[in-house]
Protein backbone atom coordinates (compact mmCIF):
# COMPACT_ATOMS: atom_id res chain seq x y z
CA UNK A 1 0.00 0.00 0.00
CA UNK A 2 1.36 3.41 -0.92
CA UNK A 3 1.51 6.31 1.48
CA UNK A 4 -1.22 8.06 -0.44
CA UNK A 5 -3.56 5.10 -0.24
CA UNK A 6 -2.81 4.68 3.42
CA UNK A 7 -3.52 8.35 4.03
CA UNK A 8 -6.83 7.99 2.22
CA UNK A 9 -7.72 4.94 4.28
CA UNK A 10 -7.01 6.73 7.52
CA UNK A 11 -8.77 9.87 6.39
CA UNK A 12 -11.82 7.86 5.38
CA UNK A 13 -12.03 6.27 8.81
CA UNK A 14 -12.27 9.60 10.57
CA UNK A 15 -15.65 10.45 11.99
CA UNK A 16 -17.20 13.74 11.02
CA UNK A 17 -20.50 15.31 11.89
CA UNK A 18 -22.75 16.20 8.98
CA UNK A 19 -23.33 19.95 8.74
CA UNK A 20 -26.91 19.35 7.74
CA UNK A 21 -28.29 16.84 10.26
CA UNK A 22 -25.41 16.71 12.80
CA UNK A 23 -25.25 12.94 12.67
CA UNK A 24 -21.71 11.53 12.76
CA UNK A 25 -20.53 9.50 9.78
CA UNK A 26 -17.27 8.10 8.50
CA UNK A 27 -15.69 10.50 6.05
CA UNK A 28 -15.58 7.79 3.40
CA UNK A 29 -19.37 7.94 3.30
CA UNK A 30 -19.55 11.71 3.17
CA UNK A 31 -19.62 14.50 0.62
CA UNK A 32 -17.47 17.61 0.62
CA UNK A 33 -19.23 20.93 0.20
CA UNK A 34 -17.90 24.47 0.01
CA UNK A 35 -15.68 25.79 2.82
CA UNK A 36 -14.60 22.26 3.76
CA UNK A 37 -17.99 21.35 5.12
CA UNK A 38 -19.04 17.72 5.09
CA UNK A 39 -22.49 16.36 4.45
CA UNK A 40 -24.00 12.91 4.58
CA UNK A 41 -25.72 11.29 1.63
CA UNK A 42 -29.08 12.53 2.88
CA UNK A 43 -28.04 16.18 3.09
CA UNK A 44 -25.69 16.51 0.12
CA UNK A 45 -26.61 18.31 -3.05
CA UNK A 46 -25.33 17.91 -6.59
CA UNK A 47 -22.54 20.47 -6.18
CA UNK A 48 -20.76 18.31 -3.60
CA UNK A 49 -18.16 15.65 -4.15
CA UNK A 50 -18.15 12.20 -2.64
CA UNK A 51 -15.12 11.11 -0.62
CA UNK A 52 -14.02 8.80 -3.44
CA UNK A 53 -13.77 11.82 -5.72
CA UNK A 54 -12.31 14.52 -3.51
CA UNK A 55 -9.87 12.21 -1.75
CA UNK A 56 -8.21 11.52 -5.08
CA UNK A 57 -8.01 15.19 -6.02
CA UNK A 58 -6.75 16.52 -2.72
CA UNK A 59 -3.26 15.76 -1.52
CA UNK A 60 -4.26 14.35 1.85
CA UNK A 61 -0.69 14.24 3.07
CA UNK A 62 -0.67 18.05 2.92
CA UNK A 63 -3.65 18.39 5.21
CA UNK A 64 -2.58 19.58 8.65
CA UNK A 65 -4.36 16.73 10.39
CA UNK A 66 -2.50 14.12 8.38
CA UNK A 67 0.97 15.31 9.32
CA UNK A 68 2.84 13.22 11.86
CA UNK A 69 3.05 14.69 15.34
CA UNK A 70 5.82 17.21 15.89
CA UNK A 71 6.49 18.01 12.28
The footprint of Zn ion (CB under 5 A) covers: 18, 20-21, 40, 42-43
Distance CA 67, CA 35 (A): 21
Between 7 and 48, CB nearer to Zn ion: 48
Q: How far is the CB of 1 from Zn ion (least distance, A)?
A: 30
Torsion 47-2-28-17 (CA) sign: negative
* Strand-pair partners of 15: 26
Q: How far is the CB of 41 from Zn ion (least distance, A)?
A: 8
Between 7 and 18, CB nearer to Zn ion: 18
Spatial contact of 31 and 39, defined as CB atoms under 8 Å apart: yes
Between 22 and 62, CB nearer to Zn ion: 22
Distance of CA 21 to the CA centre of its chain: 17
Q: How far is the CB of 15 from Zn ion (least distance, A)?
A: 13
Amino acid sequence: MTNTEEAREKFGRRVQRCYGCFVAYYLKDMYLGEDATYYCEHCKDETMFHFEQFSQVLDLSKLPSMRPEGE
